[in-house]
Amino acid sequence: MANVDHDAVVCEMAVLTELRSNRRSADAASAAVPERRARACPKRRNYHRVVAAVTVLFFLTATFWSLTIPHFDGPDEEEHFNSVSRLLQGGGWPLPYEAPLLGSTGQAMREAGLPVEGEVLTEFVAPEDRATLGAATSLDDFGRDGMVHHPPGYYVLIAAGTAALGGETLRWDRASLVMRLLSAALLAGAVPFVIGSVRWVTGSATAGVGGGMGLFTVPFFTNMGGLMALPV
């Protein structure tokens, strides 16, 4: 059984006591609830601010890694990228192990300096000359996209956000960064739930915040948070 959050109980009791003392003017009391709650619960208000600050800090940390780690340097990141690109191009969600890597993904990988089908570009491609997601390419589809065995929800959300910001008209490097940042935002959104879960179990807001800060003690988690990495 979870411990009682004493700060929350004291806060709620203070509000209820004040409301009961004003039962003769119920309408006025109801209208003043937000003000009374804020006045009676300064600890709760501070708690929400701290939770928001920890969440933003996590997102900024993940963003740092998004900006500094080379494209496709994360585990299977080219396949995550490919799955989002396929959705943007209307390719849907094939059966497991039936989805190839798209020629456009191969073009992006080549321009990033990675080998594709044993071939590597010998010249650096300037950012302004890099291909867009929807650009025609001489490369055929190749290999296999192993990510289609995952549920598609994550990829649908990332694809929707990328489409809203330009979709296939984006250069692949910009699209990759957009996908990374959207993924970081989704993961950062889980931080308040981590804090809330620890608070619920321990009955302590301080312990809850400590649990959220504990995420920063796992460098792998914040590092992967800045990449397209569904397993995180």
Task: Convert the pLDDT of each residue in 78-115 to its tens digit.
Answer: 999 999 999 999 999 998 888 999 999 999 999 998 88
Q: What is the pLDDT along the chain (232 residues), one digit of tens a residue?
A: 445 555 555 565 555 555 555 554 555 545 555 555 555 466 677 889 999 999 999 999 999 999 999 999 988 999 999 999 999 999 999 988 889 999 999 999 999 988 888 788 878 888 889 999 988 888 889 988 988 888 899 999 999 999 999 999 999 999 999 999 999 999 999 999 999 999 999 999 999 999 999 999 998 888 899 998 765 5
- Positive/negative CA dihedral, 100, 105, 106, 109: negative
Amino acid at 30: S
Of the candidates 194, 204, 228, the residue with the CA atom closest to the CA atom of residue 58: 194
pTM for this prediction: 0.80
> CA 16: distance to chain centroid?
38
Burial of 97 (0-12, 13-18, 19+ CB in 10 A): exposed
Amino acid at 205: A
Annotated domain spans of the chain? 1-40, 53-232
